[in-house]
C-alpha cells in the first residue's frame, strides 16, 4: 500500500471541501425555489409596480413572468405543466428544459406577491389570476 504525503492529503481534503460547498449551494438554491423568497422585506423600489400588468398579445420577447400571466389569462386556471404546455404552444421554438427549470421559481414569486392565486389540487397547485 502506498503512503500518501501530507500535501496529497491536504490537497484531497481541500478538493472534497470545495465539492461539498458546491453541493450545499445547490441544495440552498433548491430550497429557496421551493420555499419562495421573502419579498415582504425587499425594498419597495426593487419590486416593480407594473408586474401584475397582463400583456394583450404574446411575444417571445416577454419576460417569463409576463408569459405566465398571459398563459393564465388564456387557460384561466392550470397547474405548472398546463402553463408550460400553453407557453410552448405560443412559442414552439422555446426550450422546454429551460422553461421547466425556471417556471416553479417564477410561479412561487408571483403567488407569494399576490399577483396570481393558487389552489391546492392534490399534491400540486392550480394557478389562476
Q: Are 94 and 60 in contact (CB under 8 A)?
A: yes
**CB-side neighbour CA atoms (13 Å) of 20:** 6
Question: Which of 40, 29, 31, 33 is closest to 114 using CA atoms?
Answer: 40
Which pLDDT tens digit goes with each residue over 56-104? 888 888 889 999 999 999 999 999 999 999 999 998 888 888 888 889 8
Q: pTM (2 decimals)?
A: 0.59
Give the full edge-to-edge strand order of the sheet including 117-121: 77-78, 124-128, 117-121
What digits encode the pLDDT tens for the residues 30-64?
Answer: 777 777 655 555 544 444 445 558 888 888 888 89
Query: Could you say which DSSP state residue 120 is in?
Result: E
Tally Cβ neighbours within 10 Å of residue 106: 18
Amino acid at each position: 500500500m502506498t503512503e500518501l504525503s501530507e500535501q496529497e492529503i491536504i490537497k484531497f481534503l481541500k478538493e472534497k471541501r470545495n465539492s461539498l460547498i458546491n453541493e450545499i449551494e445547490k441544495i440552498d438554491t433548491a430550497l429557496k425555489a421551493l420555499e419562495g423568497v421573502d419579498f415582504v422585506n425587499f425594498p419597495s423600489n426593487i419590486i416593480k409596480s407594473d408586474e401584475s400588468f397582463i400583456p394583450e398579445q404574446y411575444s417571445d420577447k416577454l419576460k417569463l413572468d409576463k408569459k405566465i400571466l398571459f398563459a393564465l389569462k388564456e387557460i384561466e386556471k392550470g397547474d405548472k405543466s398546463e402553463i408550460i404546455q400553453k407557453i410552448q404552444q405560443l412559442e414552439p421554438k422555446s426550450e422546454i428544459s429551460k422553461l421547466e427549470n425556471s417556471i416553479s421559481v417564477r410561479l412561487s414569486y408571483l403567488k407569494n406577491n399576490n399577483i396570481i392565486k393558487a389552489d391546492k389540487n392534490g399534491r400540486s397547485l392550480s394557478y389562476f389570476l
